[in-house]
Amino acid sequence: MLLQWSEALEVGHPIIDYDHQMLIGLVNELDRAVQMGQGAEKVAQVLDRLSQDIETHFAREEKLFEQTAYPLVEKHKQHHRDIENLVRTFQAAYEENPASIDLNKLLKFLKEWLMKHIGKLDKGYAPYVEKTEQKTDYVQRKDFA
Ligand SMILES: [Fe+2]
Ligand SMILES: [Fe+2]
């Protein structure tokens, strides 16, 4: 089953929401490559892209946290590091020996993780981002008044 984006997953920051849609798209691309038997080279390529994009996305989120009063920064960052390591480990093992990885299990894990990451963990910082943005708007408006 492919993942589906919905408004319920929005954290309200356009770049972060775009990142999340892109990550959903990549997991779906991996799913299609596996189900349609597009071959190990294609799977390795999508896995590589996915782990790179996950890392870029995490870095963006963490930069955003610095501008907010979000209290769970350290816990959230640790979660990011754990996922990065895990995905990199899967990716390296797949490149070494594609037969060593159960792709359906990996897909199941990635789907559950991503939906939880967006829907629960990331949703937790949404109110702080909103507050910061409102404050920025106000400051900007005042500057131009
Ligand atoms: Fe995220
Ligand atoms: Fe996150």
Instruction: Name the residue ranges covered by the structural domains of the chain.
Output: 13-144
Please give the distance, rounded to the nearest whole angstrom, from the Cα atom of residue 116 to the centre of ligand 2.
10
Q: Is the pLDDT of residue 130 over 80?
A: no
Q: Is the pLDDT of residue 138 over 70?
A: no
Cα distance between residue 103 and residue 35, in whole Å: 10
| Whole-prediction pTM | 0.89
Please give the distance, rounded to the nearest whole angstrom, from the Cα atom of residue 145 to the centre of ligand 1.
35
H-run or E-run covering 16: helix 14-35
Cα distance between residue 45 and residue 36, in whole Å: 15
So what's the pLDDT on residue 129?
86
Which residues have a beta carbon within 5 Å of ligand 1, which is an ion? 122
Instruction: Please report which ligand is nearest the Cα atom of 9.
Output: 1
Please give the distance, rounded to the nearest whole angstrom, from the Cα atom of residue 144 to the centre of ligand 1.
33
Please give the distance, rounded to the nearest whole angstrom, from the Cα atom of residue 117 to the centre of ligand 2.
6
Cα separation values, 44 from 56, 74, 84, 133, Å: 18, 31, 16, 39
So what's the pLDDT on residue 128?
92
pLDDT band at 140 (very low <50, low <70, confident <90, very high): low
Q: Is the pLDDT of residue 65 over 50?
A: yes
Q: Is the pLDDT of residue 143 over 60?
A: no
So what's the pLDDT on residue 132?
72
CATH of domain 13-144: 1.20.120.50
Please give the distance, rounded to the nearest whole angstrom, from the Cα atom of residue 94 to the centre of ligand 2.
25
pLDDT tens per residue across span 33-61: 999 999 999 999 999 999 999 999 999 99
H-run or E-run covering 40: helix 40-65
Residue burial 70-98, b: 16+ Cβ < 10 Å; e: rest: beebeebeebbeebeeebbebbeebeeee
pLDDT tens per residue across span 82-128: 999 999 999 999 999 999 999 999 999 999 999 999 999 999 999 99
So what's the pLDDT on residue 145?
46
Residue by residue, DSSP assigns 111-131 as: HHHHHHIIIIIGGGGHHHHHH
